[in-house]
Chains A and B, each alone.
Chain A
Amino acid sequence: MPYHEFDCSKVIPERKQHAVVKGEGEDLTSCLPKGYLNTIPGSISERGCAYCGAKHVIGTPMKDVIHISHGPVGCTYDTWQTKRYISDNNNFQLKYTFATDVKEKHIVFGAESLLKQNILEAFDAFPEIKRMTIYQTCATALIGDDINAIADEVMAERPDVDIFVCNSPGFAGPSQSGGHHKINIAWINQKVGTLEPEITSDYVINYVGEYNIQGDQEVMQDYFKRMGIQVLSTFTGNGSYDDLRAMHRAHLNVLECARSAEYICDELRARYGIPRLDIDGFGFQALGDSLRKIGLFFGIEERAEAIIAEETARWKPELDWYAARLKGKKVCLWPGGSKLWHWANAIQEEMGVKVVSVYTKFGHQGDMEKGIARAGVGTLAIDDPNELEGHEALETLKPDVIFTGKRPGEVAKKKRVPYLNAHAYHNGPYKGFEGWVRFARDIYNAVYSPMHQLSGIDISKDDYATDKGFVTRRMLSDANLPEADRASPLTGYTGPFDPIAALRAKTDADYPQFERKTSTQAAE
């Protein structure tokens, strides 16, 4: 039986089925933990709520929108300025957040007129913004405000504005994942097909499940544009509200984070016949394969190959420099949902690290299937981990580095395990060929920090060296390295602090112009 029972969770026996260790010769039929079940109260789980899954994860990265939460101010405040989903319109959606400020009297007498006045005030404060998303919260769901009716009323009065309503209160589901689903379906039901786009290419995609963390979307969009592909919309990072209303006109849905956004892809396939292609922007091999698949779908493989060749030549040596120095380092891969399988294989294959544990806060069994399949024998897989289990796992596994959220990162810090932010990244973006080197760089900088080395010394007991005034990362990382690796003339990553600035400076003239097919060719 591969189930792993934590000592700290013996008193809550139902937890036993939420963790497994992948044994020798075992497959998924024998080692799949339970997933996406209601949380055990008081277990100090790391899960968030369905409101944050809808608003914070998927809704807010949409850039040209007033994001207003109908409820008390806390939901809005708490989910504001806690992520790094940037945008190329001066980060409007990152800077501004709106709450209807529901008070006790509204709970008693209803908050619909309050909502309406709020909507008008918000549009008046930002006259250049004509799009809005309204998020329901626990309080306004329970008092039963009809948000859709108010939105319709305002749209009738002000024909130049458009409003999207997302009814996903915090309690709607075991975790934030419930909110992902709700906002996916709400968007396709309410908004897709309400605007006709201008088609400028023979190859048109929606880029779905991509949130532009530190510029990921802009990196990937650059590759697509270099292939002559029109990115009709991005759901939702750096995405535009009106572009997303036209999703129905794409030829292909290119899906990145399946955990949070496969629902809309599946609906787009069912309703509009648009095929879904799952891709992966992390890792040279996976990213290269992804670009190839897209190229293959459109019959433009050579364009993909050209990019892969160029980028690999530029960045692979630097990745390999890090891989030589990260080989065998133990990693706990503890993200929220899909990164456990996006990263598990790629970091082992391309950076040489060893994943000793994967976990998911809000993933489903399907995510665990993919994660465990890609992880090696002995990997500890945990669904909906809690505080004490995290401690126990860190103490048992003794990883060299952990990829997780900001607060769990503080737990790891105290245990002398350096952390990288798996949700918002340290110094990303991490997607793209260059981004993958940046990720390797961040891991290296964490693992070989001289401060980390110092923190293990007990000056009251240990016999420690006094012959050095400093130690460099290289002195630590290269100490036991084979001579051939040590002799490398490289020194690691050579890109800029902010690689996105250069991408934003590009104009159409910087991209290759491909001949459009004639309409008869296209029809064939």
Chain B
Amino acid sequence: MNCEVKVKDRIGTINPIFTCQPAGAQYVSIGVKDCIGLVHGGQGCVMFVRLLISQHLKENFEIASSSLHEDGAVFGACGRVEEGVDVLLSRYPHLKVIPIISTCSTEVIGDDIDGVITKLEEGLLAEKYPDREVHLLPIHTPSFVGSMVTGYDVAVRDFVKKFARKGPSNGKINFITGWVNPGDVTELKSLLKEMDIDATVLFEIESFDSPIMPNGDEASHGNTTIEDLVSTGSATHTFVLNRYEGGKAGQFLEKKFKIPAIVGPTPIGIRNTDTLLKKLSEATGKPIPESLVRKRGVALDAITDLAHMFLADKKVAIYGNADLVIGLAEFCLDLEMKPQLLLLGDDNSGYVDDPRVKALQEHVDYPMEIVTNADFWDLEDRIKNKGLELDLILGHSKGRFVSIDYDIPMVRVGFPTYDRAGLYRYPVVGYGGATWLAEQMANALFTDMEHKKRKEWLLNVW
């Protein structure tokens, strides 16, 4: 077997690929309309995540903290959640949903956020806000378990669990995108529209990319409503595009409401998009229209110019969220490229049994490594000390110095991508995403050829 799956062989982390669970839950919370998350923990757990999100999207989002201080750490801090909820409700009249998101500190001291919610529902909400629609939900995201990816997964499930109700079938599918960008949602919705499929999209985040208006009163927020979340219990199917970023919600809906969950594929590349469309067609009975044959053809037309001439045999390392990394690796193989190293930044023991990982192990005919619980040193050490040669790196901005210091071109993809302009606006999924990715990779290689003066004349006649 050429492809090995291994756990990082060090115990510590040098330059982490992921942040911790509460960040994932916070990213979910901003996708919901009239919702402000209250993170129960130290203030840094919110302040830095808000900064991170604003670095990526160049927008501000509201997330609150219970501001755990020393006294709370010693004597328990449930009272600060109660106060926090009251302060939020009294100052934000439109606010309807407050997820209480736990952190390592408040999980270690054992604050009972479920109990606090019951207390608030029976006390504060009934007494002070009796005529107001308010929903509180607990989201347990201790930082010492999983990663931002599992935090995302848990939070999607908890939102669905809180709101989903079984009604008469609404004829819609649930469409859980996973941790993606506004540009991805736009691309995915255009596929659904072409297929004439009515879907509840979790989450409606196209509006993250919001304008400056002349009157200066715009703000970025998600647009998934409580009604959307309620209706997920009445859907015909649940499509979970990213197994690790919505899989738990799919399982919940299947178990509780007998709504079949269709997991994957992560629709990165032509082939995975084809598969998604076939599955959508099978589930809904809707045919794949001619318009998508054309759209696919436009993508193939663009990629054909690039694949066997420029991309073939290029060695690439990919890191980030597992579904993204695997989807990109699959697409790279279709592009005749040679992914050398896949870095998955958390210790999810399920990765090794992922059928996509097993398929890579079965079919890759050159040495390839997949490392779980990986950090950036797994990449840099191989380049610096172990002779790994790469033509390209695919991943998010936190790995930028590996690219810079070893002069390896890099295409920014994933979360966060703060060191390149506007990437959140472009898809990596669907046919549009396939084109964009292939062209970004080709342009990165072209720039590198010119920068290093390596066959830069090749492009004279292309």
Contacts and interface: CB of A to CB of B under 8 A. Distances in A.
Interface stretch (A117-125, A197-205, A212-220, A500-508): A117-125
Interface string B1-26: 00000000011111110111111000
Interface in B62-117: 62-70, 72-73, 80-81, 83-88, 90-92, 103-105, 108-109
Interface in A163-185: 169-176
A71 interface: yes
B163 interface: no
A41 B83 contact: yes
A173 B71 CA distance: 9
Interface string A81-92: 110000000000
Interface stretch (B45-53, B292-300, B450-458): B45-53
B138 to A, nearest CB: 16
Given A122-B14, A139-B144, A12 B54 contact: no
24 contacts: A11-B90, A39-B69, A41-B38, A42-B38, A43-B91, A45-B67, A49-B44, A78-B23, A79-B48, A81-B400, A82-B55, A103-B347, A107-B144, A138-B103, A142-B73, A170-B44, A171-B70, A171-B105, A172-B70, A387-B62, A408-B60, A413-B212, A414-B60, A414-B210
B85 A42 contact: yes
Given A41-B87, A175-B43, A82 B51 contact: yes
Contacts of B68: 138, 170-171
Interface stretch (A19-27, A265-273, A344-352, A452-460): A452-460
Given A77-B19, A78-B19, A106-B144, A100 B13 contact: yes
B14 A125 contact: yes
Interface stretch (B213-221, B226-234, B267-275): B213-221
A112 interface: no
B42 A51 contact: yes
A137 B142 CA distance: 14
Contacts of A356: none
Contacts of B19: 73-74, 77-78
A99 B16 contact: yes
Contact of B16 (A73, A169, A462): A73
B45 A97 contact: no
B20 A77 contact: yes
Contact of A41 (B23, B47, B67, B73): B67
Contacts of A406: 51, 54-55
Interface residues of B, number: 82
Contacts of B66: 41-42
Nearest to B55: A406
Given A49-B47, A118-B12, 13 more contacts: A12-B87, A40-B83, A45-B65, A49-B45, A74-B19, A79-B48, A98-B14, A102-B104, A104-B142, A139-B104, A170-B44, A414-B60, A414-B213
B55 A73 contact: no
Interface in A373-415: 387-388, 405-408, 410-411, 413-415
B142 A455 contact: no
A80 interface: yes
B20 A74 contact: yes
Contacts of A42: 38, 64-66, 83-88
Contacts of B15: 80, 95-98
Minimum-distance CB pairs A-B, first 6 = A74-B20, A170-B42, A42-B84, A49-B44, A78-B48, A41-B84
B165 interface: no
Interface residues of A, number: 81
A53 B158 CA distance: 33
B105 A407 contact: no
A17 to B, nearest CB: 16
- Interface hub of A8, A42, A82 (most chain B Cβ within 10 A): A42
B16 A39 contact: no
Contacts of B181: none
B92 to A, nearest CB: 8
A358 to B, nearest CB: 20
B41 interface: yes
Contacts of A121: 10-12
Interface in A131-177: 137-139, 141-143, 169-176
A168 B83 CA distance: 26
A9 interface: yes
B410 to A, nearest CB: 15
B129 interface: no
B38 A143 contact: no
B58 interface: yes
A42 B116 CA distance: 15
Contact of A143 (B108, B142, B397): B108
B457 to A, nearest CB: 30
A138 B104 contact: yes
A101 to B, nearest CB: 4
Contact of B20 (A8, A43, A73, A106): A73
A402 to B, nearest CB: 13
Contacts of A170: 41-45, 68, 105
Contacts of B215: 458
A47 interface: yes
A175 B219 CA distance: 27
Given A38-B67, A170-B44, A78 B13 contact: no
A81 B416 CA distance: 11
B145 A103 contact: yes
A103 B346 CA distance: 11
B412 to A, nearest CB: 13
B278 interface: no
Nearest to B215: A458
Nearest to A100: B12
B194 interface: no
Contact of B91 (A118, A176, A388): A388
A52 interface: yes
Nearest to B109: A142
Contact of B104 (A8, A71, A172, A416): A71
Contact of A81 (B148, B213, B398): B398
A515 B249 CA distance: 76
A355 B66 CA distance: 32
A81 B402 CA distance: 13
A72 B45 CA distance: 12
